[in-house]
Chains A and B, each alone.
Chain A
Amino acid sequence: MKYLSEYRNLEETKKVLDEIHKITTREWNIMEICGGQTHGLVKNGILELLPEKIRMIHGPGCPVCVTPLNLIDKAIELLEKGVIVCSFGDMIRVPGSKKSLLEAKALGGDLRVLYSPLEAVTIAKENPTKEVVFFAVGFETTAPANALSVLHAEKEGVTNYSILASHVLVPPAMEAILDDKFCTIDAFLGAGHVCAIMGTEEYEPLVKKYKIPIVITGFEPLDLVQGIYMAVKQLEENRFELENQYARVVKKEGNIAAKNVIQKVFEIGTREWRGIGEIPNSGYVIKEAYKKFDAEIKFNISHIKVPENSACIAGEILRGIKKPHQCEQFGKTCNPSNPLGAPMVSSEGACAAYYHFSVT
């Protein structure tokens, strides 16, 4: 596969790692925003190949991990009401306050795992006597496809389709992390695929305001070490700039067609982040014109609110204050078969990545 094997090249990756070792003189804390990057770092054993002085902090960019508990309970409520609930795969094992979607399915709920929300519209067409809801979670990356499903349903006159939306945005989360008084982060690896949609411009103000390097980075081993190298080089040279390591995919302006689709269906509003809390202007909410596709309104479930498990320190993990193995529950009461919180469930979650792959 072009653009893939080149970025898994052993020799090239080693060269860049050597360069990182050469230029590093001080201790630096670098946060990779995206769960896919955390996964790549741990799965390829990159963390142990970095200089000891470089500490990678795993950011909140795992869509499953930041989806609030309320939303999972709402989806389960829909399943129990006889609605066909469609979801991305790794959402279904996340524990709600009483059970997971997978357990609700075993009790008779009609749960479908899909790769594309457009398939949920097809399911709605094929089941005209039933209601079909797509569990529309994720960052800017999944927003275009979810918005498109709404536009598609409207165009096709499908009235038994709606979405349970919980879209969150990367820049406000970065700002919330930087504003935290415990924040020790010196540089960010920006989320490559989010920027493929949104472009890079919205990161310029963050770089200036917080005087912090941001390097938009991809997901393959060579991408990751290049991104880290560029961040360390800036820090060592006392620079703070927006750089784009992932230029083969990310354009400055992003994907305009995708952004148009998002803007048609969604507007920016307050969103709750699991483990972090409510952040103003941090997510997408469905615009007035498309409210009839909003499952929360359609099924009157917005009142469902539940507290988080107090033993789970997901909030501290997601803000990079603690590492997974610094949690007392890690690997003991909390493991992938019995996760206390979302970061242990999703393969992109920092806790699951450490549990599954980490040698130390």
Chain B
Amino acid sequence: MKDKIDIGFETIHLGHGSGGELTRNLLDAIIFKTFSNPFLDQKHDGSIVDFKGKIAVSTDSFVITPIFFKGGNIGSLAVHGTVNDVAMCGAIPKYLSLAFIIEEGLKVIDFISIVNSIKKAADESGVLIITGDTKVVERGKGDKIFINTTGFGEMHPKANISVSNIYEEDIIIVNGFIAQHGMAIMSEREGLEFESNIDSDSTNLNFLVKDLLDEFGKDIKMFRDPTRGGLGTVLHEIANDISKGVYIKEEAIPIEKQVAAACEMLGLDPLYVANEGVFLTVVSKNVASDVLQLMQKHSKGKNAAIIGSITNNHPNKVVMESLIGGKRIVSPLVGEQLPRIC
């Protein structure tokens, strides 16, 4: 579907959310046409699907300014975010629901471009959009567009993801460069514009997760994707969940030079900057190097690295060894990370 399509209107207004003729026009011309599949084509109130065994369900709402950014837009983000959350449970994502809350005044051309990104991201992730909803709110009562997606996935037969399986000396591995998404967004925010070529890392992680589970099964103890709050916050959550300590080395954390420089300039700690294509996994020590090798061969894990391990020292705390060999606590992020004065 081309972005330049004549559907008889240029801007979305309240009438498009009324449930009447205009709503039908909007859905037919854009949604149903783009996402056509046997479930959606029934145009029913909901869809009925088959699953084998246990399923994993995850939901997420996406609100982001700006809605278009380097490396993606709110649409691709809404697919990747939920697909990844389902994958982190140790499941194979199959289906998504898709709900829009649109602020009147959104340009149709922007909406089409978001919908096309959703389609592309869903196809690439191997998931179908099987139900959805569209509401329009008055101008000033939203922020252009909000998207909610709920994902459904079949549990991988070999998955045994549980914090109770984590022991001392288990190894923590991340799949690639951190802090890309947050810095890409930051570089385009009003008042903070700075020139950079930093792309959001927004991508699907489900195929790499599946490969890892196929190969290593129960030796994979945990997957977690550090989105908001960044790697630091997630490590802290893990330490708390398992009542053990997490020990990491600053020099081992993969970060791209330009991103590190942007963080430095803005006075932000990359450990607390958001990611959308990063996950960390906790694995048994005996398979760690094999896991790392598999990840580094996969397109979504080329820059994977072992960043630390689980320890019985300092329970509930994350301790990081600094570049010069000192130690410091990595605490959870409180509120938004605020740029420093000087």
Contact = CB atoms under 8 A, between A and B. Distances in A.
A90 interface: yes
Contacts of B322: 43-45, 221
Interface stretch (A134-142, A245-253, A279-287): A134-142
B8 interface: no
Contacts of A13: 324
Given A93-B335, A112-B191, A113-B191, A10 B324 contact: yes
Contacts of A236: none
12 contacts: A4-B264, A45-B321, A88-B340, A88-B341, A93-B335, A115-B191, A138-B341, A142-B341, A221-B323, A221-B324, A357-B329, A357-B331
Contact of B326 (A1, A46, A346, A347): A46
B324 A138 contact: no
B327 interface: yes
Contacts of B192: 114-115
A4 B329 CA distance: 23
Interface string A88-129: 111111000000001000000000111100010000000000
A42 interface: yes
Given A115-B191, A115-B266, A336-B334, A90 B339 contact: yes
Contacts of B267: 89, 347
Interface string A10-53: 10011000000000000000000000100000111111110000
A141 B342 CA distance: 7
Given A114-B191, A336-B334, A359 B319 contact: yes
A56 to B, nearest CB: 13
A42 B328 contact: yes
Interface in B309-342: 314, 319, 321-329, 331, 334-335, 338-342
Interface of B: 191-192, 261, 264, 266-267, 314, 319, 321-329, 331, 334-335, 338-342
Given A91-B341, A114-B191, A358-B329, A10 B261 contact: no
A290 B266 CA distance: 30
Interface centre among A4, A49, A356, A358 (most CB of B within 10 A): A356
A8 interface: yes
A358 B191 contact: no
Contacts of A336: 331, 334
Interface in A323-353: 336-337, 346-348
Nearest to A193: B342
Contacts of A91: 341
A113 B192 CA distance: 9
A10 B323 contact: yes
B274 to A, nearest CB: 16
B194 to A, nearest CB: 9
Interface in A229-280: none
Contacts of B319: 359
B191 A10 contact: no
B225 to A, nearest CB: 23
A342 B157 CA distance: 52
Given A1-B261, A112-B191, A115-B266, A64 B326 contact: no
Given A115-B191, A115-B266, A43 B341 contact: no
A348 B340 contact: yes
A213 interface: no
A137 B341 contact: yes
A359 B327 contact: yes
Contact of A45 (B266, B314, B325): B325
Interface centre among B324, B325, B335, B341 (most CB of A within 10 A): B341
Given A46-B324, A357-B328, A359-B329, A92 B264 contact: no
Given A44-B326, A115-B266, 10 more contacts: A36-B342, A45-B325, A47-B326, A64-B341, A115-B192, A137-B341, A346-B341, A358-B328, A359-B314, A359-B328
B261 A93 contact: no
Contact of A88 (B324, B329, B339): B339
Contacts of A1: 261, 264
A358 to B, nearest CB: 6
Contact of A337 (B327, B329, B335, B338): B335
B338 A90 contact: yes
5 nearest A-B residue pairs (beta carbon):
A45-B326, A89-B339, A89-B338, A357-B328, A336-B334
Contacts of A102: 335
A89 B192 CA distance: 11
Nearest to A64: B341
Contact of A92 (B323, B329, B338): B338
Nearest to B335: A93
Contacts of B329: 356-359
A8 B321 CA distance: 14
A59 interface: no
A218 interface: no
